[in-house]
């Protein structure tokens, strides 16, 4: 919502109020549910309300902001341009309201609340287990959701405020406005299956015609190392969001992969794979906490962040 607003309480319900626009959280929830469900009937089922109640809430919202949010037909509804813009903002507003509720509960009672964190596969492999163990001892009553996420810039859940913060692996300068806190730097390695035809390659240029499978930051890594070797980066590059997809392609499709060099600490995960030696000095990946605004983290999120930093310190050592 691109307008200045004030939060006021009316009959126990928070309302967003501006001279020409009014909306309540009840209306926003109804609107968001109808937009995502595609029909009033399905929204009523999800919210366990009557269809007239849902219709009334949406109509009130449309009157309050003096515009139409849905195009209605016999098959359901679809958003207008303004409706789509409001939906993006509604996600953020409702997520922040939930975090406000959680923060008040945590500050008042010292327990409970909810934490939703996204973690890249690399960060999860090396830092997640000790972090969760330490956090659980301190806050056993907090409900935790962990999701795998490689790249915050392209994920709709991140943009909608679904996550408290993210832990991601990156190479190169960040091109967004989010806050970052470095946890550790991670060495990278080029890997192939143990009997790959190019397993003895000593120049990365010999791998130019291979199929590459890489994490999200992989294309940037390849651009750097091939240009440093006066070569042209490969054309056949497949971005894989998870190791669960990347490693089978290396083992079974003769693909060349880029992974954390620490993969070989885990014999089971590295079985049948080998790092290529002396091909090129790869840059290190940064594993960082990414936040919209660190001052708005709930107490549970702040504590989880501190546990992450302690785990990262041992990884760095």
Q: What is the pLDDT of residues 2-30, one digit of tens each?
A: 333 333 333 334 455 554 567 888 999 99
Residue 153 has pLDDT above 80, yes or no: no
CATH 1.10.10.10 residue ranges for the chain: 6-105
Measure Cα distances from 109 to 137, 142, 225, 307 in Å.
Answer: 17, 12, 53, 21
pLDDT in tens, 92-150: 888 878 777 777 776 676 666 788 998 886 666 778 889 999 999 998 888 899 988 76
Class of domain 112-184+286-316: alpha beta
Backbone angles phi, psi at 232, to 5 degrees: -95, 130
Domain 188-283 has CATH 3.40.190.10: yes
CA dihedral 34, 38, 43, 46 (to 10 degrees): -120
pLDDT value of residue 135 = 94
Q: CA-CA distance, 58 to 10, in Å (whole number)?
A: 18
Q: CA-CA distance, 225 to 252, in Å (whole number)?
A: 25
CB of 247 closer than 8 Å to CB of 269: yes
pLDDT in tens, 211-263: 999 998 999 999 999 999 899 999 999 999 788 899 999 999 999 999 998 88
The torsion region of residue 35 among left (phi > 0), alpha (psi -120 to 50) and beta comes to alpha
Domain 6-105 has CATH 1.20.140.10: no
Contacts of 139 (CB under 8 A, 6+ apart): 111, 113, 300, 303
CATH 3.40.190.10 residue ranges for the chain: 112-184+286-316, 188-283
């Amino acid at each position: 919502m691109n307008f200045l607003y004030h939060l006021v309480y009316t009959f126990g319900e928070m309302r967003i109020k501006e001279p020409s626009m009014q909306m309540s959280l009840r209306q926003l929830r109804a609107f968001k549910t109808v937009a995502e469900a595609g029909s009033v009937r399905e929204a009523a089922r999800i919210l366990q309300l009557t269809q007239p109640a849902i219709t009334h809430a949406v109509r009130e919202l449309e009157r309050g902001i003096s515009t139409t949010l849905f195009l209605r037909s016999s098959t359901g509804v679809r958003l207008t341009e303004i409706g789509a813009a409001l939906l993006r903002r509604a996600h953020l507003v409702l997520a922040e309201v939930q975090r406000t509720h959680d923060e008040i509960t945590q500050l008042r009672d010292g327990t409970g609340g909810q934490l939703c964190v996204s973690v890249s596969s690399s960060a999860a492999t090396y830092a997640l287990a000790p972090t969760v163990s330490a956090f659980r001892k301190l806050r056993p009553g907090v409900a935790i959701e962990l999701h795998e996420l490689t790249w915050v810039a392209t994920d709709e859940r991140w943009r909608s405020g679904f996550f408290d913060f993210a832990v991601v692996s990156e190479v190169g300068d960040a091109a967004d406005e989010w806050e970052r806190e470095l946890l550790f730097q991670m060495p990278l390695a080029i890997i192939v299956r143990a009997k790959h035809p190019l397993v003895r390659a000593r120049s990365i240029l010999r791998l130019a015609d291979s199929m590459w499978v890489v994490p999200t930051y992989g294309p940037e890594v390849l651009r750097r190392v091939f240009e440093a070797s006066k070569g042209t980066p490969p054309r056949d590059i497949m971005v894989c969001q998870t190791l669960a997809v990347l490693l089978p392609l290396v083992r079974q499709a003769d693909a060349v992969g880029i992974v954390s060099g620490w993969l070989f600490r885990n014999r089971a995960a590295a079985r049948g794979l080998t790092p290529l030696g002396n091909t090129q000095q790869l840059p290190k990946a940064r594993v960082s906490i990414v936040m919209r605004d660190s001052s708005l983290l709930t107490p549970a999120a702040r504590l989880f962040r501190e546990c992450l930093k302690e785990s990262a310190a041992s990884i760095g050592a």
